[in-house]
Structure 1
């Protein structure tokens, strides 16, 4: 197994979704491969579904070409295959390697690179399936006379009422409270009065 020469440092990323989860297993895995405690970034109580996470973002900002980002498993980086593959691809273009201890993936090796390329292929396949399902679902809904998208929060009459209240100079928070909708909804469905 051929290994790529790396001159950087090992950075570790740990994520637990809830406060009840124990991160010890992840720390143990990073200990075994020599990730120093000062080089670890930990997100507590943050879902993997979120693409932006404070400590993940900080680590990605700090990472430099030649560094190896180490995780216990790839699912710590994100929930969807597509998001993880996209992140790995971005790291690769920056010259940053990825090592997933539990999955046995290490992009500093030729085998690891090949496995990560396969992951990218499966992620693209997953994206194409999602696009196909979305297109088919929209076509089926249209055939049944339904349109896609979120249902309107306010009917036309109540939207006009919101606009007239705003035109009369009532504060947006008061309008939202009176109509039982969010402030954002009032801003979205009304226009500011031109002076």
Structure 2
């Protein structure tokens, strides 16, 4: 039986040290780590390598359940595949351990709540964007050229000026001029 760790951070700027230290303290003899890879990403090269190399009796250990994946279906599928191969799963932060039936049941419940939380955040974000749109507020960068400037750009273009010259006059890039001329 070997304890094998898996760590993941979503961006290259994030640090793996907290996770790897906890995995070493839990007895991990080998740690695979994906850096700059979202939990919802289909391709996680180090996780794929790890899953291919696990043997019966091994324990896949993660610092936190969402490191394995954010999608409930994916997490449960991976854990079910592990169980079918005789591999256990342990999540340190949540205290989950699938060596017994209670750990498996708790994992299913925790994964469902993680998915519920993610779905709720998405639902609230969409509702907020919809409400903002009703009040004529839209996300994204503020426009550099307002309606009057767009009309002026069209007039200058009709007089034969180049997009570069129009951009210099309005204080915007040539690409911005083309975007406003197209609309």
Specify the TM-score bucket, using the shorter chain as the normaliser.
0.5 to 0.7
> 1:91 corresponds to which residue?
78
Deviation at 1:112, TM superposition (A): 1.4
RMSD between aligned residues: 4.7
> 2:139 corresponds to which residue?
149
Candidates 61, 80, 91, aligned match of 2:48: 61
- 1:24 equivalent in alignment to 2:21: yes
- 1:14 equivalent in alignment to 2:7: yes
Cα distance in structure 2, aligned partners of 1:22 and 1:136: 34
- 1:51 equivalent in alignment to 2:39: yes
Pick closer, same or farther for the CA change 1:179–1:109 going to 2, 3 Å. Answer: farther
Cα distance in structure 2, aligned partners of 1:22 and 1:127: 22
**SS at 1:83 equivalent:** coil
Say if 2:34 and 2:44, in contact at 8 Å, map to a contact too: no
Deviation at 1:13, TM superposition (A): 1.5
* Bigger radius of gyration among the two: 2
Question: For each residue in 1:123-168, what CA deviation from the matched residue of structure 2 results, as whole angstroms up to 9, or x when unmatched?
Answer: 232234224423432343244x31443245443656x96xx7xxx7
Cα distance in structure 1, aligned partners of 2:40 and 2:119: 23
Say if 2:71 and 2:115, in contact at 8 Å, map to a contact too: no
> 1:120 corresponds to which residue?
111
Cα distance in structure 2, aligned partners of 1:152 and 1:11: 48
Cα distance in structure 1, aligned partners of 2:109 and 2:45: 28
Q: TM-score, normalised by structure 2?
A: 0.55
Pick closer, same or farther for the CA change 1:68–1:153 going to 2, 3 Å. Answer: farther
Pick closer, same or farther for the CA change 1:51–1:137 going to 2, 3 Å. Answer: same
Q: Which runs of 5+ in 1 are unaligned?
A: 1-7, 191-195
Cα distance in structure 2, aligned partners of 1:117 and 1:136: 28
Q: Which runs of 5+ in 2 are unaligned?
A: 83-87
Say if 1:11 and 1:59, in contact at 8 Å, map to a contact too: no
Pick closer, same or farther for the CA change 1:148–1:107 going to 2, 3 Å. Answer: farther
- 1:41 equivalent in alignment to 2:32: yes
